[in-house]
């Protein structure tokens, strides 16, 4: 028996569409999750000056490439949204997959980066700095993976001209993931 | 506009009751899970209170209680009661059941997400229960799980139990985050035409604000719990000073959530009480906007008081000063709410039905809880009272009204809507008096014991000469016996609940003559809720309006 | 279609973001700590605001959404200052903490 969407979902007393409103609330909860982790990191980092000797070993090149990738993928997803507004779901499909490839590229760079670091002995138990490094970047990477999966599902829908409004929603989520990285980048790679 | 009730084909037992996406079924799934966990939580307190009253003696149904087992009993009693009884019954049961009905739509905006949130919640309950059966036994480091006791198995002696505990709590958090999205979005967006912001019933506002408070406060603790898990499993040292960590950080992360959490459970209880007080005094809520703005102010202020749980933990004393001031301040909006509720009763036409009795008892008991909180919120007196039974009595005078009294009130009130029949008033009153009187007889001795210096989480006071005096031990026995009496008085409730399903007086659509939208549809409401979706013409508390023949005026009735 | 939501506009913002990325990478090269901090975090804040306002369309979204998101950030600042006196100065002002080796 197929699922019938309730009429509740289509109402909009606020003027904001239900799906978009829900994603804003998801972002609200994610800000405090990442915020809690990053506040903890900043508290410790400011106290532990000596972490700079560990932090010197993070790869600025890998971090910069990944920042570039995520910023560009953010562009692609908003262009995908633009395409939906222009009533061109096939173009939107294309841009959505550019975004997905960006996300996959990010994960590939991160895997190479982490493999290098782990084989050189920079593991979670080596220093609390590395524990934070892997936890924060790892939590972020999990969100990248979740975003990629959801984008792929939405892309197949929009190819059939269904649920076009969801491109904007996953776009907002993806921009949030990008913004988290925008803060992780200086914390872990520049001002270390 | 017609409803979608007619478009669903015949559903199997599994689709209708186990894998349902209907908010009413999910609400009851949360409710019955909460009841089962409450039975577990009650069993735990029965065992450890028997140990306190008769130390070293074999407890019927458990055996002799060791010190480690005692710790596990008190830890899991607290954890289960807060996360698997209070939250599901107050927020998930009443929120799920009532929000779509009260705003006049056919379901939550994301029914499948709703089902997922219950499934995650149910899984979390299973993980929590599983922790009792793992090698080493259940976690015994208090519901606050301070490291290093919670991270180092050499201290906790429960390596597996500690991890299961953290996982169970983390899963429960995820379930309520997901559920919260549904509650907030549905209440914000799916309202009936004509239902403006100040026409929303207070209980809906309360559950929505509670969900927002939960969402905003649990994040840092989720981060902290991940860090705790890594400390437990990998020994990384987030909270270990020898590795660069700090156990006080955990305390801050925990209580940053822990304090708003008590308001997360208080607000829905206040909502239930508001609905009941207005209906059974046939009076408008004294100050709707006052209640709303005061609640929002309380919610905001609740983020500024958390370190009052850490006054003697070694925090900076200057911070203690700040948090004392904010803590005393927060009693003001709560007191304001109490005054507004009492003013609602004034010159009302009171009907002492069972739900009304429980709602009134909530006011009286919560008042005691609130007032005793002042002693604890002042850092000076807290130096003496911290970690004594005084604290235990204080938080039971707040938590018990919230998670037990208000829930009973809500159950007796909405049972006719949920099941189409009324519960027995006679049995209800027996249940009420038996519960309330015995509850006070349990807790008042604990205030006295706490003031006499009895510390919490001690499994045998015979080891302390100044605490093993006969008159103190007598109080412990008295409290334990009162607890057993209270547990016995829950039997009429269970019997009433089950028997009324089959032999209760049939309730029509609106047996209490209330105004809110859930009473305009059939009892119990069908899938899709309304044959015709209502429009709203007035606020929810138009009772005893002068000039009208009837003393109530449903929201959906045309002028 | 307002001028804020054309493809061109998004590409321009992206270009600005990349420029800022380069500046933030070059910041540490000057060796002055304060400059590094400003370029690293100041630019991060600007980049985040550019993405939020232009890509997430917060510049045309209802104002209360913006306030809601800002409140969450304020809560995180509150958490920082509430915990800082303990985590960043565990020994207090009046004695030296020698009992545990800090790595």
- Output the pLDDT for position C31: 79
Minimum CA–CA partner of B192 in chain A = A13
Q: A22 vs B181: CB contact, 8 Å cut-off?
A: yes
Q: How confident is the model at residue B2 (pLDDT cuts 50, 70, 90)?
A: very low
Whose CA is closest to B301, among B337, B247, B248, B277?
B337
Residue B538, preceding peptide bond in cis (omega within 30° of 0)? no
Task: Collect all residues of chain A within an 8 Å Cβ-Cβ radius of residue C14.
Answer: 71-72, 74-75
Burial class (CB in 10 A: 0-12, 13-18, 19+), A181: buried
Q: How confident is the model at residue B9 (pLDDT cuts 50, 70, 90)?
A: low
- Is A57's Cβ below 8 Å from some Cβ in C? no
HSE-CB for B317 with a 13 A CA cutoff: 6
Residue A160 domain flag = yes
Residue B29 CB partners (closer than 8 Å, separation 6+): B20, B118, B122
**Global confidence as pTM:** 0.95
Q: A47 vs C14: CB contact, 8 Å cut-off?
A: no
Q: What is the mean pLDDT of residues B297-319?
A: 94
Q: How far apart are CA A59 and CA A73, in angstroms?
A: 21
- Output the pLDDT for position B145: 96
ipTM: 0.95
Residue A111 domain flag = yes
Angle between helices A60-85 and A166-185 (to 10 degrees): 160
Angle between helices B23-53 and B111-130 (to 10 degrees): 20
Q: Which whole-number Å values give the CA distances from B233 to A151, B150, C76, in the listed order?
A: 33, 11, 27
Q: Rounded to the nearest 5°, which phi and psi values hold at A86?
A: -85, 10
For the cut 80, the answer to whether the pLDDT of residue B194 exceeds it is yes
- Output the pLDDT for position C4: 72
* Interface with B, mutate which of A4, A8, A43 (most B CBs under 10 A): A8
Residue A56 domain flag = no
Biggest CA pair distance of chain C: 66
Q: What is the mean pLDDT of residues C22-28?
A: 88
Residue A2 domain flag = no
| E strand or H helix that includes residue B327 | helix B317-345
HSE-CB for B239 with a 13 A CA cutoff: 27
Helix, strand, coil shares, percent, chain B, to 5: 70, 0, 30
pLDDT digits (tens, 9 = 90+) for A12-50: 999 999 999 999 999 999 999 999 999 999 999 999 988
Residue C90 CB partners (closer than 8 Å, separation 6+): B241, B246, B248, C97
Supply the mean pLDDT for chain B: 95
- In chain A, the number of structural domains is 1
Q: What is the mean pLDDT of residues C34-49?
A: 90
Q: Which whole-number Å values give the CA distances from A3 to B7, B8, B98, B120, B135, in the listed order?
A: 11, 9, 22, 20, 43
- Output the pLDDT for position B17: 84
Biggest CA pair distance of chain B: 75
Minimum CA–CA partner of A28 in chain C = C69
Q: What is the mean pLDDT of residues B144-160?
A: 95
Q: What is the mean pLDDT of residues B154-161?
A: 94
Q: How confident is the model at residue C98 (pLDDT cuts 50, 70, 90)?
A: low
- Is B446's Cβ below 8 Å from some Cβ in C? no
Q: What is the mean pLDDT of residues B479-508?
A: 97
Taking a C-beta distance cutoff of 8 angstroms, is the pair B405, B361 a contact? yes
Q: What is the mean pLDDT of residues B437-457?
A: 97
Look up residue B400 and give its two tokens.
Answer: 């018990």
Q: What is the mean pLDDT of residues B480-504?
A: 97
- Is A12's Cβ below 8 Å from some Cβ in C? no
Q: B306 vs C82: CB contact, 8 Å cut-off?
A: yes
Supply the mean pLDDT for chain C: 87
- Is C75's Cβ below 8 Å from some Cβ in B? yes
3-state secondary structure of B506: strand
- Output the pLDDT for position B434: 98
Supply the mean pLDDT for chain A: 94
Task: Collect all residues of chain C within an 8 Å Cβ-Cβ radius of residue B307.
Answer: 82
Range of the domain at A100: 19-43+61-190
A-contacting residues of C 34-93, CB under 8 Å? 36-37, 39-41, 43-44, 47-48, 51-52, 54-56, 61-62, 65, 68-69, 72-73, 75-76, 79-80, 83-84, 87-88
For the cut 60, the answer to whether the pLDDT of residue C57 exceeds it is yes
Q: Which whole-number Å values give the CA distances from B313 to A36, B244, B248, in the listed order?
A: 21, 19, 8
- The whole-angstrom distance between B539's CA and the closest CA on chain C is 24
Q: How confident is the model at residue B4 (pLDDT cuts 50, 70, 90)?
A: very low
Q: Which whole-number Å values give the CA distances from B125 to B31, B118, B274, B350, in the listed order?
A: 13, 10, 30, 40
Minimum CA–CA partner of A125 in chain B = B236
Q: How far apart are the first and last CA of chain B?
A: 20
Minimum CA–CA partner of B177 in chain A = A29
For the cut 60, the answer to whether the pLDDT of residue B6 exceeds it is no
Task: Collect all residues of chain A within an 8 Å Cβ-Cβ radius of residue B218.
Answer: 29, 32
Nearest to C101 among B242, B253, B306 (CB): B242
Nearest to B246 among C71, C75, C90 (CB): C90
Q: B190 vs A13: CB contact, 8 Å cut-off?
A: yes
Q: A179 vs C48: CB contact, 8 Å cut-off?
A: yes
- Output the pLDDT for position A2: 61
Q: Return the higher-pLDDT residue of A165 and C4.
A: A165
For the cut 90, the answer to whether the pLDDT of residue B399 exceeds it is yes
Whose CA is closest to B381, among B320, B465, B316, B304?
B320
Q: How confident is the model at residue C89 (pLDDT cuts 50, 70, 90)?
A: confident
Q: How confident is the model at residue C2 (pLDDT cuts 50, 70, 90)?
A: low
Taking a C-beta distance cutoff of 8 angstroms, is the pair B326, C78 a contact? no
Nearest to C68 among A28, A60, A172 (CB): A28
- Output the pLDDT for position A143: 98
Minimum CA–CA partner of A14 in chain B = B189
Q: What is the mean pLDDT of residues B307-332?
A: 93
For the cut 60, the answer to whether the pLDDT of residue B1 exceeds it is no
What CATH number should be reported for the domain holding residue A104? 1.20.120.80
pLDDT digits (tens, 9 = 90+) for B73-103: 999 999 999 999 999 999 999 999 999 999 9
- Is B248's Cβ below 8 Å from some Cβ in C? yes
Look up residue B192 and give its two tokens.
Answer: 């009936």
Taking a C-beta distance cutoff of 8 angstroms, is the pair B147, B240 a contact? yes
- Output the pLDDT for position B5: 44
pLDDT digits (tens, 9 = 90+) for B105-127: 999 999 999 999 999 999 999 99
Look up residue A74 and give its two tokens.
Answer: 């953010």
Residue A13 domain flag = no
The share of chain B scoring above pLDDT 70, in percent, equals 98
Residue A101 domain flag = yes
Look up residue B443 and give its two tokens.
Answer: 């807790």
* Interface with B, mutate which of A5, A14, A29 (most B CBs under 10 A): A29
* Interface with C, mutate which of A78, A102, A126, A172 (most C CBs under 10 A): A78
Q: A36 vs B216: CB contact, 8 Å cut-off?
A: no
Q: What is the mean pLDDT of residues B500-523?
A: 96
Residue A38 domain flag = yes
Chains linked to C by 3 or more Cβ pairs within 8 Å: A, B
Q: How far apart are CA A184 and CA A143, in angstroms?
A: 14
C-contacting residues of B 526-555, CB under 8 Å? none
Look up residue A80 and give its two tokens.
Answer: 């995908």
């Amino acid at each position: 028996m197929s699922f019938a969407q309730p009429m509740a979902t289509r109402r909009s007393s606020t003027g904001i569409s239900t799906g978009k409103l829900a994603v804003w609330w998801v972002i609200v909860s994610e800000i405090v999750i990442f915020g809690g982790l990053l506040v903890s990191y900043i508290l410790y980092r400011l106290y532990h000056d000596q972490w700079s000797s560990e932090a010197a070993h993070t790869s600025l090149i890998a971090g910069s490439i990944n920042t570039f990738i995520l910023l560009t993928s953010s562009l692609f997803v908003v262009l995908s949204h633009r395409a939906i507004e222009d009533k061109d779901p096939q173009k939107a499909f294309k841009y959505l997959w550019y975004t997905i490839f960006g996300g996959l590229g990010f994960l590939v760079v991160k895997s190479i980066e982490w493999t290098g670091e782990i084989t050189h002995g920079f593991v979670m138990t080596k220093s609390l700095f590395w524990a934070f490094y892997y936890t924060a970047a790892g939590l972020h990477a999990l969100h990248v993976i979740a975003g990629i999966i959801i984008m792929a599902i939405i892309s197949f829908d929009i190819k059939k001209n269904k649920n076009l409004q969801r491109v904007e929603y996953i776009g907002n989520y993806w921009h949030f993931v990008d913004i988290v990285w925008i803060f992780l980048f200086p914390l872990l790679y520049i001002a270390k | 506009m017609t409803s979608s009730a007619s478009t669903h084909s015949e559903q199997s037992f599994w689709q209708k009751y186990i894998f349902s996406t209907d908010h009413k079924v999910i609400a009851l799934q949360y409710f019955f899970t909460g009841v089962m966990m409450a039975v577990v939580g009650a069993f735990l307190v029965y065992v450890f209170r028997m140990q306190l009253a008769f130390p070293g003696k074999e407890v019927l149904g458990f055996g002799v209680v060791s010190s480690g087992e005692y710790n596990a009993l008190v830890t899991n009693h607290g954890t289960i009661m807060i996360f698997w009884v209070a939250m599901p019954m107050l927020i998930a049961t009443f929120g799920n059941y009532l929000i779509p009905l009260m705003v006049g739509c056919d379901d939550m905006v994301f029914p499948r997400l709703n089902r997922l949130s219950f499934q995650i919640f149910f899984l979390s309950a299973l993980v929590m229960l599983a922790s009792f059966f793992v090698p080493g036994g259940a976690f015994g480091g208090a519901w606050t799980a301070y490291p290093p006791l919670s991270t180092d198995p050499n201290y906790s002696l429960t390596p597996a139990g500690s991890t299961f505990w953290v996982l169970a709590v983390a899963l429960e958090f995820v379930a309520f985050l997901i559920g919260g999205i549904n509650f907030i979005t549905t209440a914000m967006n799916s309202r009936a035409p004509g239902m403006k912001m100040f026409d929303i019933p207070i209980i809906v506002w309360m559950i929505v604000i509670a969900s927002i408070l939960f969402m905003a406060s649990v994040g840092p603790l989720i981060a902290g719990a991940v860090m705790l898990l890594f400390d437990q499993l990998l020994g990384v040292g987030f909270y270990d000073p020898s590795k660069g960590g700090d156990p006080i950080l955990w305390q801050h992360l925990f209580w940053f959530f822990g304090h708003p959490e008590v308001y997360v459970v208080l607000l829905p209880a206040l909502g239930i009480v508001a609905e009941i007080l207005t209906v059974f005094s046939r009076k408008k809520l004294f100050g709707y906007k006052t209640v709303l703005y005061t609640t929002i102010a309380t919610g905001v202020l609740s983020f500024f008081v958390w370190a009052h749980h850490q006054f003697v933990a070694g925090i900076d004393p200057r911070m203690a000063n700040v948090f004392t001031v904010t803590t005393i301040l927060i009693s003001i909006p709560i007191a304001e709410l109490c005054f507004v509720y009492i003013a609602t009763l004034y010159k009302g036409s009171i009907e002492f039905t069972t739900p009304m009795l429980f709602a009134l008892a909530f006011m009286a008991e919560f008042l005691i809880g609130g007032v005793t909180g002042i002693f604890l919120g002042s850092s000076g007196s807290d130096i003496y009272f911290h970690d004594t039974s005084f604290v235990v009595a204080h938080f039971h005078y707040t938590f018990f009204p919230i998670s037990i009294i208000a829930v009973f009130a809500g159950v007796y009130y909405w049972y006719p809507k949920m099941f189409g029949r009324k519960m027995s008033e006679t049995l209800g009153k027996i249940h009420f008096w038996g519960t309330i009187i015995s509850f006070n007889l349990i807790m008042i001795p604990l205030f006295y014991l706490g003031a006499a210096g009895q510390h919490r989480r001690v499994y045998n006071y015979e080891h302390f000469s100044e605490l093993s005096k006969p008159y103190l031990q007598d109080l412990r026995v008295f409290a334990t016996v009162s607890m057993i009496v209270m547990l016995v008085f829950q039997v009429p409730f269970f019997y009433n609940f089950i028997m009324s399903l089959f032999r209760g007086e049939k309730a029509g659509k609106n047996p209490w003559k209330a105004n809110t939208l859930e009473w305009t549809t059939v009892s119990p409401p069908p899938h899709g809720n309304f044959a015709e979706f209502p429009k709203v013409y007035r606020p929810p508390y138009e009772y005893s309006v002068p000039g009208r023949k009837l003393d109530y005026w449903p929201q959906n009735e045309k002028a | 279609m307002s001028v804020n939501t054309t493809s061109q506009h998004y590409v321009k913002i992206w270009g600005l973001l990349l420029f800022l990325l380069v500046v933030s990478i070059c910041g540490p090269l000057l060796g002055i700590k304060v400059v590094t901090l400003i370029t690293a975090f100041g630019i991060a804040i600007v980049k985040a605001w550019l993405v939020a306002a232009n890509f997430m369309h917060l510049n045309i979204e209802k104002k209360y959404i913006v306030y809601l998101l800002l409140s969450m950030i304020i809560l995180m600042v509150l958490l920082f200052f509430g915990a800082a006196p303990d985590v960043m100065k565990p020994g207090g002002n009046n004695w030296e903490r020698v009992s545990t080796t800090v790595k």
